[in-house]
Structure 1
Amino acid sequence: MVFAGITADGKTPLIFVPEGIKINSSNYLAILKDEFHPWAQRHFRGRHFVFQKDGARSHKAGIVQEWCRQNMPEFISFEEWPPNSPDLDPMD
C-alpha cells in the first residue's frame, strides 16, 4: 500500500507501507505524524495548506481527526466533506 497526495504545486512523496501492515487509525496517525506532517512543514514553509482526506475508516477515527485539528490549521474534517463527490476527491 502507498500513501500519496497531490498539492497545487506538485505531489507528496510516496510513503510505502510495508507488506502485511493493515492501515488502522494508529498506523495512519503514525504516517501523518512521522512522515507526512514533517514533509508538509518543510515543503510549505509556513504557507497555509488545506489537508483533506477521503472517508476511509482509519481517516475518520477520533484520534486522527483530533490530531489533524490540532496540527493542521486548514484541516477539513470528514463531517464537512460531501460523502460522495468525485470532483472534490481527485485521488479516487
Structure 2
Amino acid sequence: MNRTITLEIPEETYEAIKMQAESRGLEPAQMVVEWLSEAIRGAQIAAEDPLEALIGTLECEATDIAEHHDYYLGRALAKELRGG
C-alpha cells in the first residue's frame, strides 16, 4: 500500500531535486522516494553494525583503514601468531 505525504520545501531545494530527477529521467517525487528509501536502508544497515558507534572515535596514523582493512587485520594477526 502506498501513502501520500505532502512536504513544504524551499524553492531552492525543490529546484535541486528537480535537476537531479531530470538527470535520471525521473519525476521529482520519484527522486525523493528513492532518496528516502536509500536513507532508510542505510539507517537499518547502520543499526545492525555494532561497531558503527566507534567510527570516527579512534585516533590512528593510517588514513585508509576503510579501504584496506583486510590488509591491516591480516598484518595484526600475523604479528600475533609470530608472538610479537
- Work out whether the TM-score is over 0.5: no
The structure number with the bigger radius of gyration is 2
Point out the structure with the larger strand share. 1
Q: Which has the higher contact order (CA 8 A, sep 6+)?
A: 1
Point out the structure with the larger helix share. 2
**TM-score using structure 1 length:** 0.23
